[in-house]
Amino acid sequence: MLALVALWLVAGPGLAQQKFTISGYVRDQATGESLIGVAVVNPGGGQGTSTNTYGFYSLTLPAAADSVRLLVSYLGYEKARLTVPAGRSVNHTFQLQTSSSELAGVEVVGSKEEKIAQTTRMGTINIPISQIKLLPALLGETDVLKVLQLLPGVQSGGEGQSGLYVRGGSPDQNLVLLDGTPVYNAAHLFGFFSVFNADAINNVELIKGGFPARYGGRLSSVLDISMKEGNMKEFHGEGAVGIVAAKLTLEGPIKKDTASFIFSARRTYLDVLAQPLIKAAAAADGVEATIGYFFHDLNGKLNWKLGRRDRLYLSTYAGYDKFYARTKDTYNEGDYTRLNSALGWGNLTSALRWNHVVNDQLFMNTNFTYSKYQFNVGITEEDRRTENGQAKTTKYDLRYLSNIRDLSLKTDFDYVPNPDHYIRFGGQYILHSFRPGALQAKDSSDPANALSSGQQKLGSEAGLYAEDDYRLTDRLKVNGGVRLNGFLVDNTLYPSLEPRLAARYLLTADWALKAAYARTTQYIHLLTNSGIGLPTDLWVPATARIKPQRAQQLSIGAARTVRFRDADYELSFESYYKPMQNLIEYREGTSFLGTTDSNWEDKVTSGQGWAYGAELFLQKKTGRTTGWIGYTLAWSKRRFTELNQGRIYPYKYDRRHDMSLVVIHTFSPTLTLSGTWVYGTGNATTLAEGRFNLGPAGTYEDFGSRNGYRMRAYHRLDLDLSHTKKKKWGEVVNSFSLYNAYSRRNPYYIYFQQGYEDQNGNVEEESSFRQMSLFPIIPSFSKSFKF
């Protein structure tokens, strides 16, 4: 593949003598924002291309006697046309206007006008932010990840959670990128909200299978999120106030058509509102108390247009969650016990990106990124006692720290020699720094016992890739590539050669068969104690003892576009098989408690996994009523020698049936009703089959097969009604939502309730397992605005 790239680069100048190239950018006329996935076609010759992640396009055509007319189309925008003189290379930037019709067709999934049958890629979905904002939201907080959970092949971990379980994988197997920078923990509030503020986002793309060679380092999916670039024309703002949080986004030109900025902030405020109530309740018991929880997000981006061929971007994200509890219990004569505890976790990412148009056919993007995720648990106890007139104060501190940091340099090239080839190649180097766990303690009564810092472990990861999206015939098109990875840790090198191949064969213009194969390697692991996104999960590297995770995925399917009553419906079917090796889990009876950077390897065991299933997806993308139906039939299994007596058992989130229905109906330009309904087979869990009273030795529980019990099925209906009011200065949108509209008591977890007897030995209540449900029907209201 690398030889193929070199051949094209050498042959390019010779080909240019017989051909000409039309290249440039496609942008929003009102904001200057880059538009991704815009179709740029030559209707007369049948050739076409689309803009890349940065809005750049290149179309090389054979020399012709007549002029060429290009047609540029993007859903939600007016079409644009350009006439180019015969044989003359032209650089042109298209400025697209938003559609003049308020009720113009809107797109729910997918932003390209290229038909689903024509693309080679499988398991890839683009979601417009405008549609994400229209769907019902828990407590009024728009959540990108919860919308992704409505797609086939994507599951949530449980009630209200924003984690993604894609095709039988776990959340750590998803490569989550924000402006090309990995985000290691994408959840707030113990998993109930994601870290992504929809007001600051431009594009969302999810890849579930058939991974292109340009992506590496994860087994299950790629979630590529691009931030807005900032309005180049005018100053604008938008924000919202909901039940639990408020947010504000500001953007505008620093120098018109040359430089711009965008800044976005979000914070919850329940801790502020609850403080007076908490303090009053504690004071009634004679205790001083301050207890609260909050999270915040900050997004910022600067955008400089250095010239026609160069553009520079600087973006950053900072998000943090903090739970805190401070109490002081005062006794006689001024003695007291003061207890301060806190749990905090968060991400910090930054990216410096340089776009450079090398020539009309070759585009370069270089990214220098930094990513950090850290959590810490802290407890401080201070005790003052007076004995014989002497006051003595003792203090005890306990800290638990864990973090992962990345420094990365990546360069990508897009080379488009002609409409039949779209070549991408590049390389990346990542320096990982891990601190899996540092347990620190200090007791003032023992000077020898002091706080200590955990040791870090370094790992170097490097990768090279090349791929070509190549049209062999009018019916057959393939995307072939290869990725070469290497990971160096503890003087141990783990190399990996990863072939990637996807193909589509057109049976008719609207009907295609598709297949894809990908081999993937992941050099980092997540040691998890639960599935609800708790920050006690630890990121650890492959080591000399712990091998990297590996997987293969084979997908086959079909896609078709159906025209019915002047509307297009896209139907796709995909089946997949994904074996996984070198997965790790905690051994029985162990957890993150007491885990340090030197002993976590002794607490884990390695095993295998299998995931396979089929997905059906039907979507309507235009008209007053839009939406989709998704269905997944899936199996996900695990086997570890030291767990479940070495027998195969279902993964905790093995879900046999998963269905989602999404409907958005626009009554008028100012009134929209949306609804989502989901159904899923209950999660697997492990329960004791017997309990034995051993007297002084306590109680012994005899557990059955691991994850051998199924909770009740999960289903839920959410509704949202949004009304827009136009103002002289902008607009206001009032949204009323119902989460769990028919108040289904869905299972969150199951616990054992011990029975009891009366004084005569008669059984008052039998021992039993009981279901804990989390959310009944929850109404919410939010007010958003734009100016």
Which residue in this structure is represented by tokens 């179309």? 59
Distance, in Å, from the CA atom of 643 to the CA atom of 145, rounded to the nearest integer, reads 32
Residue 598: is its pLDDT beyond 70?
no
Amino acid code (one letter) for 402: S
Q: Let me know: does 429 contact 369? Beta carbons within 8 Å.
A: no
Higher-confidence residue of 215 and 393: namely: 215
The total number of residues written for the chain in this structure: 787
Which residue in this structure is represented by tokens 């059955």? 704
Distance, in Å, from the CA atom of 183 to the CA atom of 315, rounded to the nearest integer, reads 14
Q: What is the value of pTM for the model shown?
A: 0.86
Higher-confidence residue of 104 and 281: namely: 281
Average confidence score pLDDT of the chain: 84
Higher-confidence residue of 761 and 62: namely: 62
> Which residue, 59, 39, 68, is CA-closest to 361?
59
The predicted structure's pLDDT at residue 693: 65
**Mean pLDDT highest for which of 162-166, 620-624, 731-735?**
731-735
Residue 351: is its pLDDT beyond 60?
yes
Q: Let me know: does 574 contact 554? Beta carbons within 8 Å.
A: no
Q: Let me know: does 122 contact 555? Beta carbons within 8 Å.
A: yes
Task: Write down the CATH number for the domain with range 2-96.
Answer: 2.60.40.1120
Distance, in Å, from the CA atom of 536 to the CA atom of 600, rounded to the nearest integer, reads 13
The predicted structure's pLDDT at residue 265: 94
Residue 497: is its pLDDT beyond 60?
yes
Which residue in this structure is represented by tokens 């054992």? 752
640-665, pLDDT tens digit by residue? 998 888 899 999 888 999 999 999 99
Amino acid code (one letter) for 295: F
Distance, in Å, from the CA atom of 163 to the CA atom of 399, rounded to the nearest integer, reads 27
Which residue in this structure is represented by tokens 């070495």? 646
Percent of the chain exceeding pLDDT 90 equals 39
Distance, in Å, from the CA atom of 487 to the CA atom of 616, rounded to the nearest integer, reads 37
The predicted structure's pLDDT at residue 529: 64
Give the dihedral of Cα atoms 30, 32, 38, 44; nearest 10 deg.
80
Residue 597: is its pLDDT beyond 60?
no
Higher-confidence residue of 602 and 412: namely: 412
The predicted structure's pLDDT at residue 569: 86
Q: Looking at domain 124-606+618-786, which CATH architecture does it have?
A: Beta Barrel (2.40)
Q: Let me know: does 1 contact 466? Beta carbons within 8 Å.
A: yes
Distance, in Å, from the CA atom of 620 to the CA atom of 608, rounded to the nearest integer, reads 39
Higher-confidence residue of 104 and 207: namely: 207
Average pLDDT on 713-718 reads 92
> What pairs with residue 613 in β-bridges?
576, 634
Higher-confidence residue of 593 and 466: namely: 466
> What pairs with residue 607 in β-bridges?
583, 640
Q: How is the chain split into domains, by residue range?
A: 2-96, 124-606+618-786
The predicted structure's pLDDT at residue 407: 96
216-264, pLDDT tens digit by residue? 999 999 999 999 999 999 999 999 998 888 999 999 999 998 999 999 9
Q: Which range, of 9-13, 218-222, 489-493, 551-555, averages the lowest pLDDT?
A: 9-13
What is the distance of C-alpha 736 from the center of its chain? 26
Higher-confidence residue of 161 and 613: namely: 613
Q: Which range, of 87-101, 161-175, 465-479, 556-570, averages the lowest pLDDT?
A: 87-101
Amino acid code (one letter) for 133: K
Q: Which range, of 103-112, 133-142, 232-241, averages the lowest pLDDT?
A: 103-112
Q: Which range, of 75-79, 159-163, 169-173, averages the lowest pLDDT?
A: 159-163
Question: How many Cα atoms sit within 13 Å of 304 on the Cβ side?
Answer: 9
The predicted structure's pLDDT at residue 112: 42
730-766, pLDDT tens digit by residue? 899 999 999 999 999 988 877 777 777 667 767 667 7
Average pLDDT on 206-212 reads 91
**Mean pLDDT highest for which of 134-138, 473-477, 496-500?**
496-500
Confidence of residue 699 (pLDDT cuts 50, 70, 90): low
Residue 10: is its pLDDT beyond 90?
no
Contacts of 238 by beta carbon, 8 Å cutoff, 6+ apart: 199, 248, 249, 784, 785, 786, 787
Confidence of residue 691 (pLDDT cuts 50, 70, 90): low
Count the neighbouring beta carbons within 10 Å of the beta carbon of residue 392.
11
Q: Let me know: does 195 contact 147? Beta carbons within 8 Å.
A: no
Q: CA 132, 137, 140, 145 torsion: positive or negative?
A: negative
Residue 356: is its pLDDT beyond 90?
yes
The predicted structure's pLDDT at residue 559: 92
The predicted structure's pLDDT at residue 403: 86
Residue 122: is its pLDDT beyond 90?
no
Q: What is the DSSP letter of 767?
A: -
Confidence of residue 13 (pLDDT cuts 50, 70, 90): very low
E strands within 158-258?
165-166, 174-178, 181-182, 187-188, 193-194, 201-207, 221-227, 236-241, 245-255
